[in-house]
Every structure is written in structure tokens, then in C-alpha cells.
Chain A
């Protein structure tokens, strides 16, 4: 699959040991190592198997509803042209991942992983979830393939994402509340790993983002790359050329790497990843691990992490449950250090403003995660010429967030 990559490629990572430069790797307990190696072997076989991809593509089309549209957003384009200096303000396109079945990009990865689980003969599925989108997507594919499924979710997230908790239960999943630590995404991942280590013989762990031990960051990226591949084709069809700028929110970073990866070796395509800055990166309540963290080891990989000088993990904060994680996928750490992608922090307040603006101007309720990407538009559009093309990944829809947004705006429902 990588036969034609150029010498100075950004897209041919990880190396054969699962590293992206100094990042990535396989930092797991010995109990899990044989399974991780087995998963890699199985994935290599699947990669070369046209039948695997034929099944993946068929499900993407008829079950997920792909391709998702690349939509020219006229009113938001005009809005930012009005604010920008003369001659500035690019054409803004939305990659409409929120139109996928289950309402976010997460389903792309879940389809790929459950097909791997079935190939490996695993009969039970587990997953962690933050905002609940990955939990819903996992419960959905588990229902579709008739496999029992347990979703680990932080107690705090269960409270703030009630609609998704109910969705998972409707889909037949068991939702397990994680009471330890900050009771959010990081802790649900700890508990999922604890469960997995005791049940490796029959259980497949569908990790929801492009993080964790190798080969997860690679295979999640590959499944999510359908976003960027479609965007490429759609933009060539609509505009006859590649986009100039790609923008996506980064929690663990799977929607961003999915959009970015197929363009990494196109030097004229700039990319901006958005980190959640919570109350601000100068406070202790944010989730911007590149801006405010340093490299470390957690959850099976080496990557940028929020931590103190002793290496204790510090708690992340974001209004968006899906971005509320003290690390990010290792490939993003590498793209950050190599300078290929620029990463920018956006606060809760900025994201809330963008959320409302998108609702009012485009008739699209974006997820709070995606609202972080939209919130970078004021600064990005002010610097880009009118004839430039910018794509925002609207990675999920915001129906799940209306309670959080109402509370933040002081509205009683």
C-alpha cells in the first residue's frame, strides 16, 4: 500500500516497531503483548486482502451512508470575508462527517475494527468512551454483528452525556461507570485496559481514537483516512484542485489524522489541528497537551501528555467531553515536532461562540468537538486570500451537546 511514497514522506509512518519518530510504540503490560503482536499480524493480512476492504467499503456505503458530502458553506464564508481585511477570507467547505450514521466520524473506525475482531475469532467487544460518540458507534457495530459489548465510561461523562448513554443501552450495550480518578475519558481507558487484560482470550478492544499501543494508532488512522481520501476527490471535482488549508479538532485526534493523512505529502496543503484550551492554557483547566504538556508514556504509547514534573498525569478540562483527555495520538505529537501540522489552542468560550454561529449561519448544529475547529476560523480566514480553499472537518453533530450548551449559556430547558 505504500509502494509509491516519496523519500521525505510524512505518510509512511509508523516504522516497523510502531514508532512515529520518538512517539508511539507498545508500552503495555506483558499480558497484552502477545495479543498486540497478534493484532498487528492480523491487520497486515487484512491490509493485503481485497475481500476485507470490499466488505469495509460496502458497509461504509450502505450502513454508514458514505461518502459524506463536502459542502460549500456560503454564509459562514461571507461572514468571515466581512470580518477579514480586503481580499482575505477563503472559501470555506465543511466535510460533513456529522451526517454519518450515529452522527460522527467514529463509526468509520468501528466498522474496520469489528471486522478485524471477527477475523481474529474474538466474540466479545469492549470500548472506552468520552463524549459517548465512540460508545454509540461501538454499540452500533456490535449490534450489527451480534456481538456482546461493554462500554466503559467515566461517571462524570455519564452525567453530562445522558442521551448517548441511553442510545448505547438501546443498542444492547452494557455501560460500565468508571468512578476512579477524574471520572472522564482517561479513566474509562484505564478501566477498559484492566478489563481487557483479564479477558484477552475472547475480547477485542475497539479503541476509539488514533492512540494506544501499536498498531492501534496506525489502523485507526487507516480506517479514518476515508475522510481525507473522499475530501481529496470531492475537492478536485468541485474546484479542480487541492484545498489550501485543512482544519480539525484534536482530542485523541482520529478525525484530524483521518482528514490530514492523505494530504501529508502535498506540501501546498497546510493543516491546523485544534487543541481544547478549556478555560485557557494559562490556567490549570485545559486539555491542550501539545501546548501545555511534554512527552511521556500513558495508555500504551509515548506522546505529549499533561503531567507534572514527577510524571504524574494531570487532569484535563474541556467543555467538550470528547476532547477532555490529557494526551493525544502519537502521530500528532510527531507531526507537531516535525512542523508539518500547526496546532492551535481554542477555549471553551471560543468554541461556544462558534457553535452558535454555525447553527445560525449554516443551519448545522455541530458537536462541541467540531466547534473547536470552527472557532479557529476567525484567525485562519483573516490571513488567507479570497481565492483559497479551506476545509473544516465537522466531525460530529451537536444534538448530544445541547444540554451542556444550554447550561453554559444559562438557559434552562
Chain B
């Protein structure tokens, strides 16, 4: 079984995102795992994060201003893999930093660092050739996004060539802004699960255990990002304790649906 299969086999999983290089990433990642995160998404900072709201935009800028390089992200990933051999690790970011040295180079680095999957915000299935074949060649999952605007006609193209899990972006908008109505999430997840053989995780705008609990009743995973990134901004070096506390509450809510 892959790390993703193991993580999702236990029932609804909590997926936690933070931006790499924003604060003490190693300590913050450890806090997420200790709190009960089942899957980790590590954000690769980019100068132009077009799909992100203010919280993650600012985290990208803090990270780049602190001098974070792509090599640092892979070092963080590789060290995470050593400390946590079983926890699935996903890199999430934008196309340009991923292809800057060539897709093969990127896929190779992912494999060497023990990265299980990649989410690239601005490569839709139509441009799969840019990154997809290189990742599949190295058995790194390409995790695609489905959105409220993804209709039934497009869904097979989104699922084709993707693996690990399907990330349902529950609102048409940028990260961290508002939450979708529970009813619309339930309908969408039912539709996606009917078409998909891989788990469906739901994200965008999920901040509280109450929201996470409601989503976990219908989906295979719940993704939380901006709320965690906000804690990193607010607490700096003291962030791990706060991250651990929020993650524990979220994990309890998500796992209660198992």
C-alpha cells in the first residue's frame, strides 16, 4: 500500500497545509503530525500566488523574503521523510518553480526527497504534458483539483492520470476566504466519489473543527491551510504549540467521523 492508501484507509483523513520556509518549518511540521495530521501539504513559495488569498500570499512573501530557495524546500521534505517515514507528504505550488529546471529534474528531486504527491495549481489536465508524465515516471502522484465549475463532461479528464487523492476546491475563489455551504459540498462530493476510485478531500475556507467535522461525514479528507498559516504568522517561533492545539482539535473532529 502507498502512504496515501494507508492514510485514507483508516477513514476520513486530516490534511494540513503550511508554506515551506515561513517560520521554523521543521518544528511546525512536527507539530502538525503530533497534533494528528494524516497528510501534510508543504507549500512551495512563489512570487505570484494567483490562486491564494491574503493569508497564504503573505506567507509566500515572508518565506521568499527569508531567502527560501527550491533546494531548501527539498531539504525540508527530505528531513521530514526521515523523521516521519509513514506520513504522506505533498508539495503544493505553482508551475513555474516546478518546471524551472525541467520537469524531469523536479520529479527526480521529489522522488529522492520522499515526496508522495504534487499539487500544481496552474496546470490543468489540458497541459498535463508539462509535468504529468515526468511525475508518473517517478511514481510521484499528481493530485488534481476539482472545483464547483468542473462539470460532468470535464471530470473524466481531471481524473485521468491523477492519483493519491482528488482535491475538491469547495468554493470558486482563492484560498482562505469563505466556506462553501455544507449542502453544496455534500452534493459535489457525492458526484465526485461516484466518478472516482481515489479518495476525495475537501478544502478552501475550512478553519474550525465544526466545519471539519461536518465535511468529514461525507468526504474522505478535510484540508486546512490558511487557518494554520495564520497561526504561523501570529506566533512566529511560538507557533508549534498553537499549531499542535488547532490540529488536535481538527483531527479529533475529523477522526470522530470514522
Contacts and interface: CB of A to CB of B under 8 A. Distances in A.
Interface in B208-239: none
B19 to A, nearest CB: 14
B48 A181 contact: yes
Q: Could you say which of A28, A187, A302, A305 has the most chain B C-beta atoms within 10 Å of its C-beta?
A: A28
Given A30-B169, A198-B177, A312-B47, A296 B124 contact: no
Contact of A311 (B99, B123, B144, B149): B99
Interface residues of B, number: 44
B127 A26 contact: yes
B161 to A, nearest CB: 14
Interface string A129-160: 00000000000000000000000000000000
Contact of A310 (B51, B61, B100): B100
Interface residues of A, number: 36
A309 interface: yes
B158 interface: yes
A30 B124 CA distance: 6
B172 A31 contact: yes
B203 to A, nearest CB: 13
| List of 4 A-B pairs having minimum Cβ-Cβ separation, nearest first | A311-B100, A198-B173, A311-B97, A311-B96
B150 interface: yes
Contacts of A297: 94-96, 99, 122-123, 130
Interface in A251-309: 296-300, 302, 305, 307, 309
B50 A29 contact: yes
Contacts of B151: 34
Given A180-B57, A312-B64, A197 B174 contact: yes
Contacts of B51: 29, 194, 197
A30 B69 contact: no
Main secondary structure of the interface of B (DSSP, over half): loop
B81 to A, nearest CB: 21
Contacts, number: 116
Interface of B: 46-53, 57, 61, 64, 69-70, 94-101, 121-124, 126-127, 130, 144-151, 154, 158, 169, 171-174, 177
Given A30-B169, A33-B124, A310-B97, A299 B50 contact: yes
The prevalent SS among residues of A at the interface is mixed
Contacts of B146: 30
22 contacts: A17-B126, A25-B126, A27-B123, A27-B124, A29-B121, A31-B173, A33-B154, A34-B151, A181-B48, A187-B48, A190-B48, A194-B53, A197-B51, A197-B172, A197-B174, A296-B96, A297-B99, A297-B123, A297-B130, A305-B96, A307-B96, A311-B98
Contacts of B52: 194
A35 interface: yes
A187 B57 CA distance: 12
Contact of B50 (A17, A194, A200, A302): A194
A287 B149 CA distance: 36
B122 A27 contact: yes
A32 B151 CA distance: 12
Given A26-B127, A30-B124, A309 B172 contact: no
A59 interface: no
A193 interface: yes
Interface in A178-217: 180-181, 186-187, 190, 193-194, 197-198, 200-201
B126 A26 contact: yes
Given A198-B172, A313-B47, A30 B96 contact: no
Contacts of A30: 124, 144-147, 149-150, 158, 169
Contacts of A180: 57, 61
